[in-house]
Amino acid sequence: MDMGKIAIIGAGNFGSALAHILSIRSDIMGALWDSDSAKMQKPETLQSVLSGATVIFLCVPSWSLRSAGESIAPLLSPGATVISPTKGLEEKTNKTSDEVLTDIFADNATVALLHGPMLAAEMMEGLPSFATVASASQSTCTDLQELFARTTLTLEYSSDVHGVALAGVLKNIYSIGLGMTEAMRLGSNFRGWYVRAAVREMSKIIVACGGKPETAYTSAGIGDLVATGLSPTSRNCKVGHELVQSGECSTVSEGGESLPQMMQILQTASIVAPIATSIADIVAGRADASTLLKSVL
């Protein structure tokens, strides 16, 4: 793949962190674009940013993924690759990020997911980060490994694209629970047991939805769960803390936003998932945080 020009769409925390770690690649032309012009160093049109770009990182939240994808689709260069770190479910359709991207780019771009422990604040500090590249072709991962070779981001490959998309949704949900266990001061022993139980449940759901069991044990699954669930900079962790401390939550997170859709998926497929269901009940105000203990033990 020609790495002559890279475009990053979405100058939020993660998009900005990606741009930061790629800034050491002086041999690559990079462009960061956002619908909010105040977030860009210099004003450019979306068309000019995408012109000639071979790799596009679409760094937007799940609720904006379809609209953002549809806005860039007509502007892509032939043979472009679209990489998505988005982890969530589409509200109206319950579709995962890979399904939404396939709807949009099936005929005019290669699509891959980039999921794993990549906390933006740590990436900005130059600390190591890790991700799973999920794509139908391993060559896409090889190209991205070359792109990030001299950076702090280490990549692994998975062919289980749908499983990785599901892992991204589920790890956000279970991260809320991990935040609760920390706020309840249940100790490291219980958190260790919780992670074990949550990953087993994650694997069960992934398999029931057509993915591979081992995907739950990749950086996109357990790796991202631990990083997100224990990080003070994580919105999902913050949601868990707020629910324990006040019984209410004002923080918006991907995990919280995906819960209603995930519960519909579980119900439709008759999947029994006590931990995820307990978290959904707590977030919705139907139960208090103590019910999480019963779902794990």
Q: Which of 5, 171, 204, 238 is catalytic?
A: 171
For domain 5-158, the CATH class is alpha beta
How far from the centroid of its chain's Cα atoms is residue 295's Cα?
A: 25
Task: Note if 171 is an active site residue.
Answer: yes
Q: How do the domains of the chain map onto residue ranges?
A: 5-158, 162-296
Annotated binding-site residue? 120: yes
Which residue in 122, 131, 94 sits closest to 17, CA to CA?
Answer: 122
Annotated binding-site residue? 229: no
- E-strand spans in 138-297? 153-158
Write the CB contacts of 252 (distance below 8 Å, at least 6 apart in sequence): 235
Q: What is the pLDDT of residue 103?
A: 96
For domain 162-296, the CATH class is mainly alpha
CB-CB neighbours of 70 under 10 Å: 13
* β-strand partners of 81: 55, 110
Annotated binding-site residue? 148: no
Annotated binding-site residue? 189: no
Q: What is the pLDDT of residue 1?
A: 55
Q: What is the pLDDT of residue 212?
A: 98
How far from the centroid of its chain's Cα atoms is residue 53's Cα?
A: 23
Annotated binding-site residue? 14: yes
How many C-alpha atoms does 111 have within 13 Å on its Cβ side? 22
State the residue for tokens 């500090």.
Answer: 125
Q: What is the pLDDT of residue 2?
A: 58
Q: What is the pLDDT of residue 248?
A: 83
List per-residue pLDDT tens for the chain, 297 residues long. 556 799 999 999 999 999 999 998 878 888 999 999 888 888 889 999 999 999 999 999 999 999 999 999 999 999 999 999 999 999 999 999 999 999 999 878 999 999 999 999 999 999 999 999 999 999 999 999 999 998 999 999 999 999 999 999 999 999 999 999 999 999 999 999 999 999 999 999 999 999 999 999 999 999 999 999 999 889 999 999 999 998 888 888 898 999 999 999 999 999 999 999 999 999 999 998 888 888 887
